[in-house]
């Protein structure tokens, strides 16, 4: 599994984590305990920080990134990010499910206990209240 340092930052992770052999983990990244990062997933904290809580599941082909000098990415506890989802420069609170192929853009905030349906697109700055389900392109509650 490629773990790469960039700009003087090396990824750090907690106990009990699983990383698939071809997952890519780069830069200013902290991952909590009991997380899993599956095949061909990319967590690239090369231009800003990424913080991931405990018991987070990042499925095959997902991309977690941030925005240069603008938006970091913060992912809470008990989050599942589906296959081929893109999570970019945003905040996911606790107990969030991000469906397969979803795109969550910069400065979005996804409230606790929310679901982002498969294929949903959330434009920059979207705020999803706690206990919500959003779906569609663009998103609708």
- In-domain check, residue 20: yes
CA–CA distance, 53 with 100 (Å, rounded to integer): 20
- 95's tokens: 């107990």
Residue 50: predicted pLDDT: 98
CA–CA distance, 103 with 138 (Å, rounded to integer): 10
- In-domain check, residue 141: no
- In-domain check, residue 139: no
Residue 2: predicted pLDDT: 74
HSE value, Cβ hemisphere, 13 Å, CA-based, for 21: 0
- In-domain check, residue 108: yes
- 59's tokens: 């499925």
Residue 41: predicted pLDDT: 98
pLDDT tens, residue order, the chain (141 aa): 678 899 999 999 999 999 999 999 999 999 999 999 999 999 999 999 999 999 999 999 999 999 998 999 999 999 999 999 999 999 999 999 999 999 999 999 999 999 999 999 999 999 999 999 999 998 888
Residue 1: predicted pLDDT: 63
- In-domain check, residue 49: yes
Structural domain range at position 10: 3-134
Q: What CATH number does the domain containing 22 carry?
A: 2.160.10.10
Contact predicate 25/37, CB 8 Å: yes
| Total domains, the chain | 1
CA–CA distance, 39 with 104 (Å, rounded to integer): 20
- In-domain check, residue 82: yes
* Burial class for 5, CB neighbours closer than 10 Å (0-12, 13-18, 19+): exposed
């Amino acid at each position: 599994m490629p773990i790469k340092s960039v700009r003087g930052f090396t990824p750090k992770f907690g106990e009990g984590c699983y990383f698939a052999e071809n997952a890519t983990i780069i830069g200013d990244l902290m991952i909590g305990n009991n997380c899993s990062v599956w095949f061909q997933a990319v967590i690239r904290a090369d231009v800003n920080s990424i913080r991931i809580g405990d018991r987070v599941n990042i499925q095959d082909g997902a991309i977690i990134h941030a925005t240069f000098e603008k938006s970091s990415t913060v992912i809470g506890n008990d989050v599942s990010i589906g296959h081929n989802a893109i999570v970019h420069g945003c905040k996911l609170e606790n107990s969030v499910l991000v469906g397969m192929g979803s795109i969550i853009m910069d400065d979005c905030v996804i409230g606790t206990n929310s679901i982002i349906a498969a294929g949903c697109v959330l434009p920059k700055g979207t705020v999803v209240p706690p206990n919500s389900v959003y779906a569609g392109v663009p998103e609708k509650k």
